[in-house]
A and B are shown apart, each in its own frame.
Chain A
Amino acid sequence: MAVKDNIKPTRSELIELKKKIKLSQSGHKLLKMKRDGLILELFAILEKAKDIRAEVEKQFALASQKLAIAKSVEGVIVVKSIAFALKDTPKLELESKNVMGVVVPKIEASSVHKKLDEHGYGIIGTTSRIDEAVDAYEILVEKIILAAEIETTMKKLLEDIEKTKRRVNALEFKVIPELSEAKDFIVLRLEEMERENTFRLKRIKG
């Protein structure tokens, strides 16, 4: 066996292996705990993601209807003209936070949902159909930003859970068994050498 070929059956190697096994076992325990913690975190995020997805879909339907009313009653020409008056575009700031060692994004948005008199167009010459379409889309953009944050967090957590799971399995089914096998081999080999030594000494005495 390849493992046995590279092993020097010495006491120091045995001590080294024992240390490695202990370390692997404690690493395995920690990684299992991390995996379980991440799964719990994922379930909490999953609920939020489901809610925000439903909210985005609902808001999108509402915003589409409001825009459809504005386009029908005011006309596409009017809607386009008013859209030209848009003052400033939303600003996004991307930060990061740490969830059990996983770096996830935190998106801070400003200038998305504005007050009525901050939309850039005059109030007297426009109607509530325009206001409501603008409001509905601004709220939609806010929800999309929140959904992006939550869904990216979920994706990152899933990736990390997968990675942690692979590490746990590798430790559990490959690294620790191989180290244990190597340790057993060294123990066996050392015992064999001990017996050979005893036999040799007895022969010399005899």
Chain B
Amino acid sequence: MGVSNAVKYAYIVARVRAMKSKLIPREMYPKFLNMDIPEIIRFIEESEYKNDVDELSKKYKGTDLFEHSLSRNLALTYRKLIEVSQNEANFLITEYLRSWDIWNIKTILRGKFSGASEEEILEGVVSAGQLRYRDLTELVKIDTVEGVIAALSGTPYYPALEGYKGDLAEIENALDKWYYSKRIAAATETGNKLFLKFLRTEIDLKNLNILFRMKKAGMERDDIAKLLIPGGLELKEADLNRLASLPFPEFVRALEEYSYWSTIADISNDLTSLIQIETRLEKHALVYASQISHYYPLSILPILDYILSKKIEVDNLRIIVRGKETKLPEEIIKSHLVM
């Protein structure tokens, strides 16, 4: 990375470091596990989430207030990152956080599809991407799926949506595929090889996730192939085609050839549930992002690490509180935490 680029990142990285220092220390999570829900909520009310809790306390109560506060805080934090960054950093952060725009579009389309009320749909919206809350509110006011798609005609999401013929799953998949290809294109444009490697690893892990689910459900090769995302690091197109055509037990055995096998090898004997496999693969991506963020301190990588660390904080808090609320055994809660 050139000196000029390093200078460009100095400001945003300094801001991100300051923001990262405010994250809940990881040693707090085991303590949360021993606390009651009201105690955890009280802790959160006195932390960085105070404003969000105060803001939403009229609308929600209890664990719903907790979850919506976390979600609001996450959205505002990511929006702040977009606002304080410039040039390349801004471009890459915006591209990375497009996943939230896609999430919001999907939620609005699903809501319109099922005839949910505007309020119900807006509850599921997290304006952490480029689309602001007021844009999303305007979209929610439109009555039909077709109307929402037409309103998005000026956005980059439109090409993935315009083929809608009544099958929501199809355009959801098209949106996700578009998102992954867009991120790869953005990273390639900036020439940040390590960031690109991370994104391609993420694609591999996502493809593995899709393969596991589809193979276990006994889906046909062609149905699987149309969902797989090109551009992975280890799992190239030929690998994906081969894996998609194997029966489930052979598919699992074939994974031994790839580096990801070490992440799941010890739990690959019992595949009655894929939840543990999926959790391991997700953690693999997060640990990898954290590792590479230290290689180039003045680049997009520390920002990426912060984005993921913030997400982990929100996810961990939610898992603990919702897990306790739904009386999940502690070992299940622990197995999903990233500490």
Interface residues of A (CB under 8 A from B): 64-65, 67-69, 71-73, 75-78, 80-87, 115-117, 119-125, 127-129, 131-132
Contact = CB atoms under 8 A, between A and B. Distances in A.
A72 B71 CA distance: 13
Interface of B: 64, 67-68, 71, 102-103, 106-107, 110-111, 113-114, 116, 120-121, 123-124, 126, 168-173, 175-177, 206, 209-210, 212-214, 217, 219, 223, 227, 229, 273-275, 277-279, 315, 318-319, 322-323, 326-328, 332-333, 336
B223 A73 contact: no
A71 B278 contact: no
7 contacts: A67-B326, A69-B332, A76-B64, A81-B106, A123-B214, A127-B278, A128-B274
Given A72-B336, A81-B107, A132-B273, A124 B173 contact: yes
Contacts of B111: 81, 84
B315 A124 contact: no
B168 A121 contact: yes
Most buried by B among A82, A117, A124: A124
B275 A122 contact: no
Contacts of B227: 123-124
Contacts of B277: 128
Contacts of B68: 77
Contacts of B319: 72-73
Contacts, number: 134
Given A119-B169, A125-B106, A72 B323 contact: yes
A186 B318 CA distance: 89
Given A72-B323, A80-B123, A124 B177 contact: yes
A131 B175 CA distance: 20
A126 to B, nearest CB: 8
Interface majority SS on A: helix, strand, loop or mixed? helix
B276 to A, nearest CB: 10
If over half of B's interface residues share one DSSP class (helix, strand or loop), that class is named, otherwise mixed; here it is helix
B318 A75 contact: yes
B173 A123 contact: yes
B169 A117 contact: yes
Given A81-B107, A121-B168, A132 B274 contact: yes
Nearest to A76: B67
A77 to B, nearest CB: 5
A65 B110 CA distance: 25
Nearest to B332: A69
A119 B114 CA distance: 13
B209 A127 contact: yes
Given A123-B214, A124-B173, A77 B333 contact: no
A117 B225 CA distance: 13
A132 B106 CA distance: 21
Contacts of B206: 124
Given A72-B333, A84-B116, A131 B213 contact: yes
A147 B67 CA distance: 36
Contacts of A64: 326
B336 A123 contact: no
Nearest to B176: A124
A71 B111 CA distance: 18
A49 B170 CA distance: 41
Contacts of B323: 68, 72
B229 A68 contact: no
B326 A124 contact: no
Given A76-B322, A124-B206, A131-B217, 13 more contacts: A68-B322, A73-B315, A75-B71, A77-B126, A81-B111, A86-B114, A116-B214, A116-B217, A122-B170, A125-B173, A128-B273, A128-B278, A129-B278
